[in-house]
Structure 1
Amino acid sequence: MGARAEAAADTRRRVVDAAADLLRRRLRVDIRLEDVAAAAGVSVQTVLRVAGSKSELFRVAFEQLLSEIAAQLDGAAPGDVHAAVRTWFDHYEQIGDVVIRGLADETGPAVVFPILEVGRARHRQRVEYLLGPLLAGRSPKKRAVALDALVCASDVYTWKLLRRDFGRSRAEAEATMRLMIESVVGRH
């Protein structure tokens, strides 16, 4: 790759990283291109040249954010409650407050709805992948009810209640979440 191509790739990376960082902190579509340009150290014109449009820029930034989250949550094996809770807390400790603010403002016009919807769907998939094996032998109806309970027990709102509202230490909050999960799966 020549120097010019490397510089263009570096500029693109800086622009997308800046947009992803702003999304990570705000989860809102009212992020201005001027904010992205300032964070990337380029002009708005350069942002548009690199991305094509604001919607395309945030689509790419959103994909980057999803990849980062997936990598962050990839530290637990199916059936390992301790590791599952630890990876959720690692994730929630980093972006939980931003997610809670986004959920609180969910009906506002500036919230990034796809992020919230994808987050809900991916959380449920992750719970089913990690904790579903612990529900073996249950009827489909009882398994579905237990899975709903596990989704709730491991949700970001549960983290918020334990850490922010109740003021529990991370260790105490993790122990409480594990207790809820183990109660649902019958290992308490």
Structure 2
Amino acid sequence: MKTRAYTQTGRAESAAATRQRIVAAAIAALGESPEVTLADVAARAEVSVQTVLRRFGTRAALIAEAATALAAEREVPPGDPARAIRALYGQYEQRGDANLRLLAGEDADPHVRRLMDHGRARHRDWVERAFAPALGAHPAEEREALLDLLVVATDVYTWKLLRRDRGLSRRRAESRVEQLVDRILR
């Protein structure tokens, strides 16, 4: 007797959609407060806490997955600084204020501190990848300093200074950062 190949594509698609909903709920909840619980995330995602635990295991694993999803939003091919800045500022426009709230609370919550430390490391890695061709054109002994300057130029606090404190339009803020990046990489 032959057995028929059976794939559970519907179930797999549903599980993937549930996972995405949970991650989106975690991102949204973290944007409002660093004091997020699994119950908060589950309620937003319209699933049980047990479902969140089955998918992610721990709050820390869920937060790490949320950070990975956020990092993927701004990935761009290396070598196009203007495009990299537009992608980054697109994310800051959506989540910059939430990032600032998390940064303000990192000293009070060790989980948030780890998340922010992880975010800083990811940002530095992203900057290094996004600007790799231009960095590679400089002598090795200069690259670390240039990378530090690029990290500062593209940091969320720079966005805050230009957009929130100075009140510049998004386009004008992006232009200022493009000019800064250009001067750093000369």
TM-score (norm 2): 0.79
Letter in 1 for 2:132: G
Deviation at 1:118, TM superposition (A): 1.4
The amino acid that maps onto 1:31 is V
State the one-letter code of the partner of 2:49.
V
Match of 1:22 in 2: 29
Compute the displacement of 1:58 (Å).
Answer: 4.5
Match of 1:72 in 2: 73
Matching residue within 36, 43, 48 for 2:41: 36
Which consecutive segments of 4 or more residues in structure 1 shift more than 6 A?
A: none
Q: Percent of aligned positions with the same letter in both sequences? A: 37
What is the SS of the residue equivalent to 1:112? Answer: helix
The Cα of 1:53 is off from its aligned counterpart by 10
The AA in structure 2 aligned to 1:26 is E
- Superposition pairs for residues 160-171 of structure 1, below 5 Å? 160-171=160-171
> Are 2:180 and 1:174 aligned?
no
Pairs within 5 Å for 1:27-176? 28=34, 30-42=35-47, 46-48=48-50, 50-51=52-53, 56-63=58-65, 65-75=66-76, 77-109=77-109, 112-176=112-176
DSSP-derived class of the 2:75 partner: coil
CA contact (8 A) 1:27 1:112 kept: no
TM-score (ref. length: structure 1) = 0.79
Shift in CA distance, 172/2, structure 1 to aligned 2, threshold 3 Å: closer
Give the Å deviation of 1:109: 2.4
CA displacement at 1:72 relative to structure 2: 1.2
**Counterpart-to-counterpart distance in 2, 1:166 and 1:19:** 31
Does the CA-based 8 Å contact 2:23-2:62 persist in structure 1? yes
Letter in 2 for 1:115: L
Which of 86-95 and 47-56 deviates more? 47-56
Q: What amino acid sits opposite 2:182 in the alignment?
A: E
Cα distance in 2 for residues equivalent to 1:83 and 1:160: 19
